[in-house]
Every structure is written in C-alpha cells, then in structure tokens.
Structure 1
Amino acid sequence: MATDKEHFTERELDRIIEMAWEDRTPFEAILYQFELPEKEVIKVMRRQLKTSSFKRWRKRVNSGVSQKHLKKRNSDITRFKCSRQSAISGNKISKR
C-alpha cells in the first residue's frame, strides 16, 4: 500500500484524523468515506500523531468511553457526528 502522503492529500489526512478523534464517528464512517479500514486508520494515526497523542487516542478508543465501533455503541446514540461537525455525505470530503 502507498504511504499516507502518496495516497491521501493533506486535507484528506486532516479529515481522517479529525474523524478518528471524534468519539461519535465510527470507523465504518471513515471506511465509507475514505475506503480506509480500521487497521489502516490506526496506522495513519500512528504515523501522523506524536507518540503521546497516539497512545492517548488508542487508550480512549479501547476504553468504554469511545463509541468508535457501531456494534459496541449504545443504542441511544442515533448519529455518528458531533452537532458541530458538518454533515458527512457521499462526497469524498464533506464540506466544513
């Protein structure tokens, strides 16, 4: 697979990282929008973030606080985005 910088633009990488940090945005949304499975999102985050930031993100994703996996998500959550986040559409990059 190509490296992050060859495969994604800087704006796309920024959006992937933003979506990965947002607790309510599941990995399935990133897969849908960028065709990037969870394992690849983890690799992107590992390469693009500082080590301490990556560890903090992984700890949060693996804890009970995160809603990153649809199957583990509380059924009361009916949206996958923060109210301040732009709508994610079928476009490759949602408008900000």
Structure 2
Amino acid sequence: MSKRPDLSAEETDRVIEMAWEDRTPFEAIELQFGLKEKEVIKLMRREMKRSSFNMWRQRVSGRNTKHSRKRPSGVERFKAPDQKRISY
C-alpha cells in the first residue's frame, strides 16, 4: 500500500465528495490525491458516522462506475459539469 499523503481538511472533504459521486472512479481519486481504493475506504470509515459509512459501502460495492476498467464504453468522464475544481 502506498504511503498516505497528508491531506488538508479541504482535500479530505473533496475526497469524500468524490467517493460519494457515482461517476467518479477510485482511479480518479488516486490520480488527484494519491489514495488507493483501500485508503479511500479507510478515510471514509474514519471521517464518517458508522451508519453513513455503511450506507456508502453498500452503495458503491459492485458499482461499475466506481472502477474505470468496469465502466460502460459510453462513460468517459468522471467529473460532473458543476463539480468544483481543486488545482495544484
């Protein structure tokens, strides 16, 4: 597992927001923030209430759009048009 980068409060909030979004794959989170899927799960578990975490896990488990390799061929972007930008 890669070393977890130190995230600011704003970056942590953005990771959580991206993890909740249906069309944002875990690979996009890894590309932007350096967190692998398992690390995102740990972050979500740590930052959310247990019931919210359980609801999120149930929702994303097996969801094709959360993994780039499993996505349908017509889904190419992972960012919603109204999504805020974080630039480095």
Instruction: Encode CA deviations 1:55-89: one digit per residue, 9 max, x unaligned.
Output: 1111111144x5110111111112112222135xx
CA contact (8 A) 1:86 1:94 kept: no
Query: Structure 2, unaligned stretches of length 5 or more?
Result: none
Give the % identical residues: 56
**Secondary structure at the counterpart of residue 43 of structure 2:** helix
| Structure 1 position 31, deviation (Å) | 0.4
Matched residues, number: 86
- Per the normalisation by structure 1, the TM-score is 0.78
Normalization by structure 2: what TM-score?
0.85
Residue matched to 2:47 = 48
The aligned residue for residue 24 of structure 2 is 25
Which amino acid letter does the alignment assign opposite residue 79 of structure 1?
R
Q: CA RMSD in A?
A: 2.1
* Separation of aligned partners in 1, 2:76 and 2:60: 19
Residues 1:72 and 2:70 are matched in the alignment = yes
**Structure 1 unpaired stretches of 5+:** 88-92
